[in-house]
Structure 1
Amino acid sequence: MILAATGMRREARIIARAGLVPVISGGDAGRLRGLLTAQAARASAIVSIGIAGALSPELRVGDIVVGDRVLIPPRNGEGDHPQGGGGERATFGGFAGPSTACGGPPPRDKLGEELLTVLPGARRGVACGSDAMVITAAAKARLYEACGGTLPLIIDMESHVAAQVAQEHGLPFAFIRVISDRADQDLPPAVTCGLKADGSMAILPVLAALLRKPAQLPALIRTARDTDRAMRSLLAACDVLARGGVGLADRG
């Protein structure tokens, strides 16, 4: 089986169409690590699939980014910076550069390359891992600079965990991420309380945040619209995978 790390139930329902086994974080990196580790011995690969934020300014909502390299920037702070340690960023997955995190690279695998060949319009990129949601354009810009700003760069909350677990178990890894917010786009603070531990939507906390700060409403509507567009792109990508174009069934 192929484990598919993702954040939300909504994503998981789409991912299951491709014959993958969704593993839902609910926004909790520790939970995701535990769930992936518990199933890794029976897995043939680990992928990270779902929506993501753009760090590169050229990326637009709905763009699909595929890769096997994940960076963890060194700074952390106030919910706007991914976790990290020391003075250097850690690299997982594709190992395009030295890893400061753990061990040597697993055997090279062509999973990421296969995904790029079968997903129409997908772009090769690099993922930036974060344990917390990054919601401001200023924070995204700082992360873009910290990560080098080379290939198209995205940020999500699952890829770094999935890449670490894959590395620890010698499994192939790749990510497929669809942009849901641009690099220059601020997200309303209410989105940070919109997810339950099981990956379902937490409607009441979002409404409470909206009552405290009603000015968020236009941005919240825009965010919902952009998320819907990203989900449609994710659905199209998973339908391609479901047709077996990448040989996922052979890996499972």
Structure 2
Amino acid sequence: MAVQIGILAGLQSEARCLSGLVPPHRIALSGARLDGARRAARRLVEGGATHLLSFGLAGGLDPALAPGTLLLPAQLLTPAGGAVPVDPDWHAAALALLRAHRPIQAPVAGSDIAIGTVAAKAALFATSGGVAVDMESHVLAAAAPALPLLIVRVVADSAADALPPAALVGIKPDGATDLAAVLASVLRRPAQIPALMRLGRAATKATETLRAAARLGAASGFGLV
């Protein structure tokens, strides 16, 4: 059977890191929504994916991790308290390809909702042990537990940074930035502008790391082919 990697990301900006390296039909977007992640994961599996890759940004939970830190976890922690290992051979191959970026192998946590406050991040870090959190990996793992899984993520916001309201409303279901919603939120609460600018700078740094990781590994399926 030919290898076909199905890639689940949250945002169009994450998917653009794979542009020219991966056929577009192999990528599905959640729009940072649980129902969107479920539909996207199901589409990948029903489309014949033989391997599943969770790719994109993540929220930092471990205070030691700065934005731009590459994550290549050996294990995924689910919202229900379970633990799902990634495929060990695929993980080892990806680790060799991405070693220049010193990827962190500690587990990441999955969440059905956005973890936006500093208190919520601290609580999830304490209860789960995950060093970062995303909203797609656990959904992808649950969609086809028998398929090999790999997670490539980058910390976009540190544990000490709360997500401003505009960031939480600024994503369309198709993963595009909702500029109108961001502007409306800023007009209602202009005090969030410094935090929004800080988040933007961090996200830019994280996306640079994600793009570099894609250049190193995407064409080979991160060592799979």
Structure-2-length-normalised TM-score: 0.90
Deviation per residue, 1:53-97 (Å, 9 max, x gap):
111111111110102422124xxxxxxxxxx4xxxx122244xxx
39 and 242 in structure 1: CA distance in 2 versus 1, 3 angstrom threshold? closer
Residue 134 of structure 2 aligns with which residue? 156
Give 1:165 deviation, angstroms: 1.5
1:36 aligned onto 2:41:
yes
Query: What pairs with 1:1-252 in structure 2 (closer than 5 Å)?
Result: 1-19=4-22, 21-41=26-46, 42-73=48-79, 84=80, 89-94=81-86, 109-119=88-98, 120=100, 121-148=102-129, 153-167=131-145, 170-242=146-218, 244=220, 246-248=222-224, 250=225
> Does the 8 Å contact 2:22/2:219 carry over to 1?
no
Q: Please give the per-residue CA displacement for 1:126-165, whole angstroms capped at 9, x wherever unaligned.
A: 111112211111111100010136xxx1101111111112
In structure 2, the gaps of 5 or more residues are: none
Contact 1:45 1:173 survives alignment (8 Å)? yes
Higher helix share: 2
Q: Secondary structure at the match of 1:128?
A: strand
Q: Which residue of 2 aligns with 1:100?
A: none
Asked if structure 2 preserves the Cα contact closer than 8 Å seen for 1:7 and 1:50, the reply is yes
Hey, what's the Cα distance between the residues in 2 that align with 1:204 and 1:245?
A: 36
Q: Is the 8 A contact 1:36 1:162 kept in 2?
A: yes
TM-score by length of 1: 0.80
CA distance in 2, matches of 1:144, 1:155: 9
Cα distance in 2 between the residues matched to 1:15 and 1:245:
11
- Residues of 1 paired with 2:54 and 2:90: CA distance? 12
Identity of aligned residues (%): 35
Give distance in 2, aligned partners of 1:51 and 1:165: 20
Report if aligned partners of 2:10, 2:31 keep a CA contact under 8 Å in 1: yes
Cα deviation per residue 1:192-239 (whole Å; 9 max; x = unaligned)?
101000110001111111111110001101111111111000000000
State the alpha-carbon separation in 1 of the partners of residues 185 and 74 from structure 2. Answer: 36
Counterpart of 1:76 in structure 2 is none
Alpha-carbon separation, structure 2, partners of 1:137 and 1:33: 27
Which letter maps to 2:103?
A: A
Stretch of structure 1 that moved more, 120-129 or 230-239: 120-129
Instruction: Report the number of matched residues.
Output: 217
Q: 1:93–1:163: 8 Å Cα contact kept in structure 2?
A: no
What is the CA–CA distance in structure 2 between the aligned matches of 1:216 and 1:246, rounded to whole Å? 38
Structure 1 counterpart SS, 2:199 = helix
Q: CA RMSD in A?
A: 1.8
Flag as ranges the 4+ runs of structure 1 deviating above 4 A: none
